[in-house]
Structure 1
Amino acid sequence: MLRGERFNKADRVIRIGFWSNAVLMAVKLAAGHYGHSGAVFADGIESACDFIAIGLTIIALKVGRKPCDEDHPYGHGKVESLSAILVSLVICGTGVWVLYGAASTVREGSYEAPALIAVVAAAATIVIKESLYRYSMRVGGSLGSPALLAIAKDHRKDAVTSIATLIGVGGAYLGVGIMDPIAAGVTSFFIFHIGVHTFRTSAHELMDGQPEQEVLDAISRLAGSVEGVDQVHEIRARHSGQYLIVDLKLDMPPDMTVKHSHDIATEVKKRIFDHFNNVGDVMIHINPSDEPHEDLIRL
């Protein structure tokens, strides 16, 4: 997949999520206010937080797609993981806000019967947000973009939140007023879970954690299948935004010329690029295969 095509797909996901959140924010704030539902109004505030989070992601993607330069020889992709960290903090902060609002309402013990418009707004949010989640996960997964995956999880968080909101506002609409704040309080714990999971994943990538073992195994098998490679001695990889940077150590016959081993290494790199469109660079070190050697490393 060409670099420009990847960025266009990411931009499309971001734009759809950005404007969808803007519309939902306005609708839920109005429905919560005029429909007398604290849960739906809180859902609208949550959409406002998402609006800010996606705005941060737009900035991150713009910075992250800048090509490598002298100061950043590995590119600027890490800013996507940093953006995902900020999104996770927004998610967790939203959870605190929702829990506090629900607890305050229960403590005060004053419950208003919501109007039907509040029920309809909660139901519509579920459908819209779940659709956005599936779309964003599909594109974000194909691109390997931590920022898009964080936004997808944020959409799923909104869908889960709105399910609890619908149960609460529906129960309150039918006469059980306390269900509205209780549903909001239960939802806050789902929000915390998604926020913490997003934070841990993004922190793992910022600390150059390994990607999934299945990906490494697939790259290793592909490299080992190239003629002239006796075996893959070691493989490591790390995330840089939508791309993986791969380090390979290959064992080759010791009597091979530098040019021949270079040509084989180039073929390995070419095949990896052809089969894995989320690999941004492959660095290859060649070892003689018939004698033991010690890797020199201080890490």
Structure 2
Amino acid sequence: MKKAFLSDLIIKVAVPGYQDIADPRVRTRIGQLEAWVSILVNAVLTAVKLVLGLMVNSLSLIADGVHTLSDVVTSVVVLFGFKVSGKPADKEHPFGHGRVEYVTTLIIAVMLAVVGFEFIKSAIGRLIEPVPIAASWGVLIAIFLTLLVKFWLGQFSMLLGLRIDSLTLKADAWHHRSDAISSLLVLAAVGGSALGYPALDGVGGILVGAYLIWSGFVIAKGVIDPLLGQPPSPQLVGRIRELCRAREQVIDAHDITVHDYGHHRFIALHVEVSDQLSAQESHDVAEDIQDLLRQELGAYATVHIDPIDLDSEVVHQVSGLLDDLLQQSETFAGYHDLRVVTTPEHEVILFDMVVSHETSAGKRQAARRWVQRELLKAFPDARINIHISPPHVYG
């Protein structure tokens, strides 16, 4: 992780045991540290910008001061969010309060967009009726210094956000960075106005407002997905399967579902083992995998065991045919839970069919019928029972 001397020093002094980010208490302290530093720094910068803006009669600078004031408010929201999200699970919220972090991030995004809209409204009026600005070199230097401070604050927040993998802190970092960029636009607008181009103040206000709306949209888009439920990354799915296969009795893992609740993660999955294992041995495999996922990923896991007949000739024949069909279709993406049940009347071939997640419901059913027809050509007397895996499972 990128090192920053001043930021690292603040973390070391303010958060004992700061390296143990797996501890929810440490995570909460780091989040609250970012909020308090942001509140203090932004309170000072707000006062400086508003005083300078009123002195030189610059709407864009006053708007920038209000933007910085909104940073104080959002940091208070961050402080509240980390206080609540750090609470342990209770009767009403058995999965903990971690998703409060997502809600606070969404609040930050909405506030950014609202402030940006208000800036644009005011700036259009200033563009229609420009007002002369009398800014000295001292004022311009002061604006430049506030820009540098906000840039550092953005780096500080991002460093903490990356350290504890917090969407809220990353969003707050972008909020600070947007303030730094808006200060740069204000610097250009105020300087241009002082040189005899007063309309630039209104232009600067519009640009600042547009940038705030865009920043709010980007932040909101990033947090709505985990609130609604988003797929696990391919890297996480691969890591889960790798950890499962580390147990020698495990053939493979599939039907992986992951739910994130802030810093709490819950995983449900199926693992395939030989049907020659006893019930006790299969249970031990499941327990070992649950313990391993908790140790390596900090996740609470539920493991379902799928026994596989590795000696059945019919299973091998069906598997070979399905492998051939996989090469012929873009929709048919895989299969698992393959088993053959023999009854006095006929054999029943059962398996779960995996289709690509972008496939429509109609094409899913068409692919299932196609696979079923191909299997009946090879096994005309068999019953074919194909279950399509739901789109929320992976692996």
Fold shared by both chains (TM-score > 0.5): yes
Q: For structure 1, which segment, 260-269 or 132-141, has the greater mean C-alpha deviation from structure 2 after superposition?
A: 260-269
Q: Retained in 1: the 8 A contact 2:133–2:198?
A: yes
Q: What's the CA shift for 1:76?
A: 1.0
Q: For structure 1, which segment, 15-24 or 173-182, has the greater mean C-alpha deviation from structure 2 after superposition?
A: 173-182
Secondary structure, counterpart of 1:152 in structure 2 = helix
Task: Give the corresponding residue for 1:286.
Answer: 305
Residue type of the partner of 1:252? V
Q: 1:90 aligns with which of 108, 111, 117?
A: 111
Task: Give the corresponding residue for 2:127.
Answer: 106
Q: For structure 1, which segment, 206-215 or 65-74, has the greater mean C-alpha deviation from structure 2 after superposition?
A: 206-215
Tell me whether 1:78 sits opposite 2:99 in the alignment. Answer: yes
Q: What's the CA shift for 1:193?
A: 1.5
Q: 1:46 aligns with which of 62, 67, 89?
A: 67
Aligned length: 297
Q: What's the CA shift for 1:89?
A: 0.5
**What 5-or-longer segments of structure 1 have no aligned partner?**
none
Measure the CA separation in 2 of the matches of 1:131 and 1:158. 11
Q: Retained in 2: the 8 A contact 1:146–1:242?
A: no
Task: Give the corresponding residue for 1:27.
Answer: 48
Task: Give the corresponding residue for 2:29.
Answer: 8
Superposed counterparts of 1:147-162, under 5 Å: 147-162=168-183
Q: Retained in 2: the 8 A contact 1:35–1:117?
A: no
Tell me whether 1:272 sits opposite 2:293 in the alignment. Answer: yes
Superposed counterparts of 1:105-124, under 5 Å: 105-124=126-145
Offset from partner CA, 1:120-151 (integer Å, 9 cap, x none): 33312322222222222232123222221221
Secondary structure, counterpart of 1:209 in structure 2 = coil
Q: Which has the larger radius of gyration?
A: 2
In the superposition, relative to structure 1, how do residues 163 and 254 fare at CA in structure 2: closer, same or farther (>3 Å)?
Answer: farther
Secondary structure, counterpart of 1:287 in structure 2 = strand
Q: Which has the higher helix share?
A: 1
Residue type of the partner of 2:112? I
Residue type of the partner of 2:154? Y
Task: Give the corresponding residue for 1:215.
Answer: 236
Q: What's the CA shift for 1:196?
A: 0.7
Q: What's the CA shift for 1:297?
A: 7.1
**What 5-or-longer segments of structure 2 have no aligned partner?**
1-21, 310-338, 340-349, 353-386
Measure the CA separation in 2 of the matches of 1:178 and 1:17. 32
Q: What's the CA shift for 1:249?
A: 2.2
Q: What's the CA shift for 1:198?
A: 1.1
Q: What's the CA shift for 1:293?
A: 4.9
Task: Give the corresponding residue for 2:193.
Answer: 172
Highest RCO, 1 vs 2 (Cα 8 Å, sep ≥ 6): 1
Q: Which has the higher strand share?
A: 2
Measure the CA separation in 2 of the matches of 1:139 and 1:80. 15
Q: For structure 1, which segment, 166-175 or 25-34, has the greater mean C-alpha deviation from structure 2 after superposition?
A: 166-175
Q: What's the CA shift for 1:81?
A: 0.8
Q: What's the CA shift for 1:258?
A: 4.2
Q: Retained in 2: the 8 A contact 1:145–1:243?
A: no
Q: Retained in 1: the 8 A contact 2:67–2:115?
A: yes
Task: Give the corresponding residue for 1:206.
Answer: 227
